[in-house]
């Protein structure tokens, strides 16, 4: 396969973007990425969006965005894999270039969640309708079950869950694109409005609007354009049972574990080689489980690892330097691409006050549902 590099990044601020439409925010992010890349054409376009048909009544998203971006008749397609739609779009774009089919590809992720749709219903379409949603269980309840099981099996504490949110809000306070740029305390997280015990509203990612885009190119094109060479050295995905009751152990996210193992093998790297990561912290318990499945810490030790500060900006493996889904925001289709934007900016040395010193290798992990689908990418800065 050909080597693939990220040559351009762009994103909107995440939040409640009442004054902008679904297509507006995509075009804003895309133009920023194209300008950053300095390219004059695209060979193809992939757009990750989870459920635009329910949120804004819009399907046929690939053609719409190619039209309003002014790049038609470029081949364009919408990619859906629940909350990891953006990450899966990135994966398809990676293989488009690696295969030799395209030289320059735009990957976008976009979601407009605040325009009047029933958000709980729309998001719940990514769970098992017959065995979970019909019984009244939506994602807060499903992740609460995971949290309770993790606390029971491994002794994870309520305070350790809260530390995930506190750390990510601190990082978000340093990110101008973040929806929430305020610090919070452990006491505030624990004392916030209960959503599904033990998870409060401050354990949960918000409803968000936003878009993020990256431009990918073959390494030969990147070198000709004299761009910093940030390569995608692996792309891997995996799936698990959709419903929690179908899994052997609900504290184990098998899709994350398998995708990570495959990604490490493809890149010729180990978990200890990763210097920072953006992971799918839709709820605080998710980040704790994910750092375990990625191999950063032994199973059951994710809460303790977080409480000790190992995932903080100054820790041994900074996690969610952007603020994560919790503070940066979670416009579901855009999240996976926004993770890539953060890692690329970190490897370029452009992350400002949240910069990880001398970072050269970073990882993104994007997840759909309660862990039924997951995609992992590893990025490496070449001299």
The pLDDT of residue 274 is 98
Q: How many domains is the chain partitioned into structurally?
A: 2
**Same domain flag for 184 and 51:** no
Query: Are 158 and 294 contained in the same domain?
Result: yes
- Annotated active-site positions, please? 83, 330
DSSP string for residues in 105-137: EEEEEEEE--SS--HHHHHHTTS-TTTTGGGT-
Q: Please give the residue range of the domain that contains residue 338.
A: 138-204+233-382
- Do 231 and 5 meet the contact criterion of CB atoms below 8 Å apart? yes
The torsion angles phi and psi of 349, rounded to 5 degrees, stand at 85, 25
Do 316 and 195 fall into the same domain? Answer: yes
Return d(Cα 383, Cα 138) in angstroms, integer: 46
Report pTM: 0.98
Residue 104 parent element (H or E): strand 104-112
List the pLDDT tens digit at each of the 383 positions of the chain. Answer: 999 999 999 999 999 999 999 999 999 999 999 999 999 999 999 999 999 999 999 999 999 999 999 999 999 999 999 999 999 999 999 999 999 999 999 999 999 999 877 999 999 999 999 999 999 999 999 999 999 999 999 999 999 999 999 999 999 999 999 999 999 999 999 999 999 999 999 999 999 999 999 999 999 999 999 988 999 999 999 999 999 999 999 999 999 999 999 999 999 999 999 999 999 999 999 999 999 999 999 999 999 999 999 999 999 999 999 999 999 999 999 999 999 999 999 999 999 999 999 999 999 999 999 999 999 999 999 97
Tokens in use for 366? 């994007």
- Whichever domain contains 313, its CATH number is 3.40.47.10
Distance, CA of 100 to CA of 15 (rounded, Å):
37
Q: Are residues 371 and 311 in the same domain?
A: yes
* 130 in a structural domain: no
Whether 376 is in a domain gets the answer yes
Same domain, 180 and 313: yes
182 and 281 share a domain? yes
Structure tokens that stand for 295 in this block: 């191999």
Looking at the domain assignment, is residue 105 inside a domain? yes
What pLDDT is attached to residue 80? Answer: 98
Is 310 domain-assigned?
Answer: yes
- pLDDT value of position 360: 98
Q: Does 270 share its domain with 175?
A: yes
Domain assignment present for residue 199? The answer is yes
Order of strands, edge to edge, in the sheet holding 373-382? 76-79, 44-48, 104-112, 209-218, 4-11, 229-239, 373-382, 361-368, 276-278
CA-CA distance, 255 to 365, in Å (whole number)?
11
């Amino acid at each position: 396969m050909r080597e693939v590099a990220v040559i351009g990044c762009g994103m909107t601020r995440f939040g409640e973007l009442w004054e902008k439409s679904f297509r507006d925010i995509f075009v804003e992010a895309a133009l920023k990425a194209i300008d950053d890349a300095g390219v004059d054409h695209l060979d193809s376009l992939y757009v990750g969006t989870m459920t635009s048909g329910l949120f804004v009544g819009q399907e046929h998203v690939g053609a719409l965005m190619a039209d309003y971006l002014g790049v038609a008749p470029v081949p364009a397609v919408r990619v859906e894999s629940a909350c990891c739609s953006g990450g899966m779009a990135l994966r398809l774009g990676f293989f488009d270039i690696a295969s030799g089919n395209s030289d320059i590809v735009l990957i976008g992720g976009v979601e407009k969640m605040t325009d009047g749709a029933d958000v709980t219903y729309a998001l719940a379409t990514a769970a098992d309708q017959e065995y979970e949603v019909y019984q009244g269980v939506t994602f807060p309840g499903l992740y609460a079950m995971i949290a309770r099981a993790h606390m029971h099996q491994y002794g994870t504490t309520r305070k350790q869950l809260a530390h995930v949110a506190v750390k990510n809000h601190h990082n978000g306070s340093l990110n101008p694109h973040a929806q929430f740029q305020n610090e919070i305390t452990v006491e505030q997280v624990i004392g916030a409005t209960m959503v599904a015990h033990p998870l409060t509203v401050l354990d949960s990612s918000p409803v968000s609007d936003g878009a993020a885009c990256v431009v990918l190119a073959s390494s030969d094109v990147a070198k000709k354009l004299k761009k910093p060479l940030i390569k995608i050295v692996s792309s891997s995905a995996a799936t698990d049972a959709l419903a929690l009751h179908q899994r052997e152990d609900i504290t184990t996210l098998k899709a994350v574990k398998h995708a990570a193992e495959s990604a490490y093998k493809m890149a010729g790297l180990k978990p200890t080689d990763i210097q920072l990561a953006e992971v799918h912290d839709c709820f605080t318990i998710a980040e704790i489980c994910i750092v375990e499945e990625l191999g950063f810490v032994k199973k059951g030790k994710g809460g303790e690892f977080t409480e000790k500060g190992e995932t903080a900006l100054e820790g041994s493996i900074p996690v969610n330097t952007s603020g994560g889904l919790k503070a940066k925001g979670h416009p579901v289709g855009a999240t996976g691409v926004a993770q890539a934007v953060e890692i690329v900016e970190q490897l370029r040395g452009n992350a400002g006050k949240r910069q990880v010193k001398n970072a050269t290798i970073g990882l993104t992990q994007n997840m759909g549902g309660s862990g039924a689908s997951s995609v992992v990418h590893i990025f490496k800065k070449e001299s």
